[in-house]
Amino acid sequence: MMETGVKMETQREMKGASQVLAVITSLGLAFAIGCGGSSASHTNTVVTTGANVQPITVNAGPAGNYSNGAFTSVTVCAPGTTTCQTIDGVLVDTGSSGLRLLSSALTGVTLTQQKSVNGNPVVECLPFVSGYTWGPVQTGDVQMAGEKASSVPIQVISATDYTVPTACSNQGTAEETLADLGANGILGVGLWAQDCGEACVTTGTTNPNLYFECPASGCIVVGEALSQQVPNPVGLFASDNNGVIIQLPAASSPEATLTGSLVFGIGTQSNNALGSATKYANDTFGNFVTTYKGQTYSSSFLDSGSNGIFFLTAAIAAIPDCADANYFYCPTSTLNLSAVNQGAGGVGSGTVNFSVANADSLFNNNPNDTVLGGLAGPNTLSGFDWGLPFFYGRDVYTALEGKSTPLGSGPYWAY
């Protein structure tokens, strides 16, 4: 039987002075619901072949206690060499940008430490609602499927290499081990080219304190050029570099695992066309609007790194929290609900049907299932966090900022 206590994280991407990161802290495995998660507008076909196709699997993760987590493997090499290591159990996250790996998992290759203009090691603090990750920024080559990105800045998560400064530790609890993350790393393939953007380029009151240089005297905030920030690695591929598609089959009932694909590129190959997908534009914060029961919520987003659909609070939604798994909802019976997503500026609109099940009952009744379409819970943000259950049965496109696609330049989502 799998454990039911685990951090299930999701990041809302940061951009400019408005940058915000959010994490949903959730409890483990569970559930079963007859109608699965959100309904798809069509029956999707998962692409399994092609040099731009990376397999992903929804399973319990390397810690053995994850639900609704899509994992893949990433090959990392010392820059310009064939000395490489393939790391499994990396969470695929459309809610963030950047590759982050646990130092405990990165044992077979030595990456190059990034230095500041003063010659000091550069270290990053990435905040979440529940805490933060801390660790040096190091450079390596990244390979997935037949794609390669060279000299990619990567956050190597470690609390032992450099003393965590107060400006980072006051973000909350450190999330720096396999037990904390439930994953060997996070592959952020979200909307933005870098994990911070212009706000981190210079120091000052608008700098969100993500990047530090760490001389022997202690770590201090440093300005980090865009080219040195931890990037979405897809944007550095030679081709198929304008975004990704996550393809997962529908999940009409609880399943132990589910196999799908992470397809690189949008409209660049015969296997990544947009087809009939609808484009949903986002605002400068990366959000669109969800209308639910006549109320509009402007901070909504698609996030494969979140293990449920998180919306409103128990009081506002009139859905009780769980007694045991108290980061999820526990209605007395399964709720079949609907909402309308609308892109920024009215670009894109469509109804989403989704279900909310009693998580406590389902955790107890389905201890070995990790694909749980009806998992949902409260959200402290003014919007809907459409987590991995939304992705079941859909082709979900994440277009990268500044990159050209058949539906115009990113960033945007489409499905």
- The reply to whether 124 falls in a domain is yes
**CA–CA distance, 415 with 410 (Å, rounded to integer):** 14
132 domain-assigned: yes
| Within-domain flag for 86 | yes
C-alpha dihedral, 226 to 231 to 237 to 240, nearest 10°: -110
Single out the residue of 121, 19, 3, 58 nearest to residue 387, CA to CA.
58
Helix (H) or strand (E) holding 342: strand 335-342
Domain count, the chain: 1
Contact in structure between 100 and 157 (CB atoms under 8 Å) = yes
d(CA 160, CA 295): 47
Helices (H), 42-199: 166-169, 178-181
The amino acid occupying position 272 is: N
Tens place of pLDDT for every residue, the chain, 415 residues? 233 333 333 333 333 333 333 333 332 322 222 333 443 444 688 999 999 999 999 999 999 999 999 999 999 999 999 999 999 999 999 999 999 999 999 999 999 999 999 999 999 999 876 689 999 999 999 999 999 999 999 999 998 889 999 999 988 899 999 999 999 999 999 999 999 999 999 999 999 999 999 999 999 999 999 999 999 999 999 999 999 999 999 998 899 999 999 999 999 999 999 999 999 999 999 999 999 999 999 999 999 999 999 999 999 999 999 999 888 999 999 999 999 999 999 999 999 999 999 999 888 999 999 999 999 999 988 899 999 999 999 999 999 999 999 999 999 999 9
For the domain that residue 151 is a member of, what is the CATH number? Answer: 2.40.70
Please give the residue range of the domain that contains residue 107.
42-236
Let me know if residue 5 belongs to a domain. Answer: no
**pLDDT tens-digit readout, 82-112:** 999 999 999 999 999 999 999 999 999 999 9
**For residue 334, is it within any domain?**
no
Tell me whether residue 350 is in a domain.
Answer: no
Task: Tell me if 264 is assigned to some domain.
Answer: no
Considering the domain boundaries, does residue 146 fall inside one?
yes
* pTM assigned to the model: 0.91
Cβ neighbourhood burial of 323 (10 Å; 0-12, 13-18, 19+): exposed
